[in-house]
Amino acid sequence: MVAIRMRIGTRKSAMALAQTQEIARRLAAVAPEVAVEIVKFETTGDTDQVGKLLPHGGKGGAFVAEIRKAILSGELQAAMHSLKDMPGNEDTPGLVIGATLPRDPPGDVLVLRAGISVDDLRRSRGRGFKIGTNAVRRAAYARRLFPEIEVIHYRGAADTRVRKLDNSEMQRLADGGAVGPADALIMARSGLERVGFASRIAYEFSIQEMLPAAGQGIVAVECAAGDWQTRSILSRIDDTNAHRSADAEREVLWVLNGHCNSPIAGFSTINGGEMSLTASVLDEAGDLFIEASRTGPADRPRELGRAVGLELLDKGAAAIIERSRVK
Ligand SMILES: NCc1[nH]cc(CCC(=O)O)c1CC(=O)O
């Protein structure tokens, strides 16, 4: 058998590599003729551990742009992305999502430094505690749950963040200052588990308490739209339900013109032939909150996403999104 080479690009964090290895394992099981090579990229978003993500063109710009260029130039056949990090308000001409892996647990969890408990946070309503996150969505939900908590800017790969928490490290800021040390972090359960820190989950937020980001827990494989061979191979590892959820949740981002750090959450579930989708838009203070929820046929996810997105717009979402843009 003639081997087909497939070079898959990825960031080089522990989490990204674990996700790419999972893609390679799944390909090995169904496409033995494919020889996968994992190509590691150091992206701007990883080198700069201080600034907010916006100067790099946002989350999407920072983590995705350099790897995408390499697919378009033919240097790579595919790229691994956390779907949650892919910009939802713009297409990249010439690229498509060739596969989505089955969704991992989609929720967010609390990681605590030694010596404090979830009860401490609850009893105090967060007063006197610092919680680290860079996500407007997480900050907003955290303030709903712990109204007096101080939210601090926090950067780094999943494993780095836990290490910084344990070592009581300060988080440096772009203006030369520093914040911290953090008492708690909010992180994606799936990301934490992928880097081997499942034992550090102090509390798992329910989906109602903290609606996940659109696409959270889904690994996407991107490839060139015209590379039919790669698309055909990737289709063998595509998980239909995860792909439908991806389509529905990302349609909400599309309708709302959700930018890189939009305070938008979106999560769908599939039950037989039916899909339910809930999405919300929050302001960072946590006191403005718009939610919409609908059910529709699971094989028409974009229509459902569109309906939910338009309902959010009807309820005033645009003003909140624009306010979060100018920061
Ligand atoms: N922003 C970084 C990022 N991108 C994807 C995940 C893991 C969860 C996922 O795959 O959705 C994480 C870590 C986190 O949010 O804690």
Domain extent listing, the chain? 1-101+218-238, 108-204, 240-327
Q: What percent helix, strand, coil does the chain show, rounded to 5? A: 40, 25, 40
- pLDDT value for 52: 55
CB of 82 within 6 A of ligand 1: the answer is yes
pLDDT at 251 over 90: yes
Q: Do 175 and 90 meet the contact criterion of CB atoms below 8 Å apart? A: no
Per-residue pLDDT band at 63 (split at 50, 70, 90): low
**CB-ligand 1 contact for 231 (6 Å cutoff):** no
> Hey, what CATH topology would domain 1-101+218-238 get?
D-Maltodextrin-Binding Protein; domain 2 (3.40.190)
Question: Is the minimum distance from the CB of 180 to ligand 1 under 6 angstroms?
Answer: no
Residue in 261, 205, 274, 227 with CA at minimum distance from that of residue 95? 227
Nearest to 306 by CA among 256, 244, 268: 256
CATH code given to domain 108-204: 3.40.190.10
Atom 6, ligand 1: residue with shortest CA distance: 191
Residue 65 has pLDDT above 90, yes or no: no
pTM for this predicted structure:
0.94
What pLDDT score was predicted for residue 285? 76
- Residue range 240-327 forms a domain whose CATH class is alpha beta
1-101+218-238 shares its CATH topology with 240-327? no
**Predicted confidence band at 288 (pLDDT cuts at 50, 70, 90)?**
confident
Question: Are 251 and 305 within 8 A, CB to CB?
Answer: yes
* DSSP letter string, 249-283: HHHHHHHTT--TT--EEEEEEEETTEEEEEEEEE-
Q: 109 CB less than 6 Å from ligand 1?
A: no
Q: What is the DSSP code (8-state) at residue 174?
A: T
Residue 190 beta carbon below 6 angstroms from any ligand 1 atom? yes
Angle CA(104)–CA(246)–CA(160) in degrees, nearest 5?
45
Determine how β-strand 130-132 pairs with β-strand 184-188.
Answer: parallel
Q: How confident is the model at residue 62 (pLDDT cuts 50, 70, 90)?
A: low
Residue given tokens 């999407």 in the structure block? 60
Residue 108 contacts residue 205 (beta carbons within 8 Å): yes
Position 60 scores a pLDDT of 47
Q: Which atom of ligand 1 is nearest to the CA of 191?
A: 7
Q: How many residues does the chain have?
A: 327
Decide: 249 in ligand 1 pocket, CB within 6 A.
no
Ligand 1, atom 10, residue with closest C-alpha: 217
Tell me the pLDDT tens digit for each residue of 131-186.
999 999 999 999 999 999 999 999 999 999 999 999 999 999 999 999 999 999 99
Quickly state the pLDDT bin for 284 (edges 50, 70, 90): confident
Q: Give the ipTM.
A: 0.93
- At residue 258, φ and ψ (nearest 5 deg) are -65, 115
308 vs 321, higher pLDDT? 308
Q: Is the CB of 84 under 6 A from ligand 1?
A: yes
- Say yes or no: CB of residue 62 within 6 Å of ligand 1: no
Please, which residues bridge with residue 281 across strands?
264, 290
Task: Please give the structure tokens belonging to residue 255.
Answer: 């309708």
Q: What is the pLDDT of residue 80?
A: 97
Tokens of 179: 């914040």
H helix runs in 132-239, sequence order? 136-145, 158-166, 189-194, 228-235
Average confidence (pLDDT) over 278-296: 91
What value does the CA radius of gyration of the chain take, rounded to a whole number of Å? Answer: 20
Please tell me the residue having the least CA distance from ligand 1 atom 15.
188
Q: What is the pLDDT of residues 194-215, one digit of tens each?
A: 999 999 999 999 999 999 999 9
For residue 177, the one-letter residue type is G
If you average pLDDT over residues 100-122, what whole number do you get?
A: 97
